[in-house]
Amino acid sequence: DAGVTQSPTHLIKTRGQQVTLRCSPKSGHDTVSWYQQALGQGPQFIFQYYEEEERQRGNFPDRFSGHQFPNYSSELNVNALLLGDSALYLCASSLLALAGDYEQYFGPGTRLTVT
Amino acid sequence: GESVGLHLPTLSVQEGDNSIINCAYSNSASDYFIWYKQESGKGPQFIIDIRSNMDKRQGQRVTVLLNKTVKHLSLQIAATQPGDSAVYFCAENTQAGTALIFGKGTTLSVSS
């Protein structure tokens, strides 16, 4: 049973550039959430996608956008990169339709460095 | 804002000791709490969870206690092993499948 996968593992970008991160959810899951984890901090919720729509959004600027595809995989896009965007970006998947199942399974993350 | 926080940033124990990691939460509407373990270079790994209608839940070597009166959550690890060394986060949410709110984490170091 495949877990949550993310690509790439590491990425280095320059200020002002744009980046796209990818996530494949755990097999059977239909919901993908994205989190940003700065060094030494807990993950911060960016947004969640279900049925190809943004279902919930955290306190992140519009430079952060996403997409979910019919196969439930997802992309996170960040435009006009800032140094402060350097972080570990985590993807978590879950099965929204399963009543009472709250658990979100996390992938290994993508380490983004902005120089 | 609403957030979940941990009391201590670091905890050092000897192998074989019992470890207790604490967490305070502020949102009385939260009904689901989770403990995650995060090893260096990896994503958070689920350890154990508890619903707000419970006070205690046990897993393999781990126990989570929930005190809703003082909004306090704790993780107890029995017979701590070097492989338990990691950063531990508590997280909460108020509705199934929605955003998890994480605290800053406690780094557990186990020496043998």
Exposed, middle or buried by CB within 10 Å (0-12, 13-18, 19+), for A84? exposed
Q: Mean pLDDT over residues B10-23, rounded?
A: 95
Name residues 37-76 of chain B within 8 A of A (Cβ). Answer: 41-46, 49
User: Percentage of chain B surpassing pLDDT 70?
Assistant: 92
Q: What is the mean pLDDT of residues B19-31?
A: 90
As a whole number, mean pLDDT of residues B86-104 equals 86
Q: What pLDDT, on a 0 to 100 scale, did the predictor assign at position A100?
A: 59
Is there a contact between A42 and B98 if contact means CB atoms under 8 Å apart?
Answer: no
Across chain A, what does the average pLDDT equal? 93
**pLDDT tens by residue, B80-91:** 999 999 999 999
What string of DSSP letters covers B16-74? Answer: TS-EEEEEEE--TT--EEEEEEE-TTS--EEEEEEETT-SEEE-SSEEEEEETTTTEEE
How much is the average pLDDT of B19-47?
92
Q: What pLDDT shows up at residue B1?
A: 36
Name the pLDDT band for A90 (thresholds 50, 70, 90).
very high
Q: Name the minimum distance, in Å, from the CA of B88 to any CA of chain A.
A: 9
Check CB contact under 8 Å for A102 and B96. Answer: yes
pLDDT of residue B94: 79
DSSP 8-state secondary structure symbol assigned to residue B79: S
Q: Do B34 and A102 touch (CB under 8 A)?
A: yes
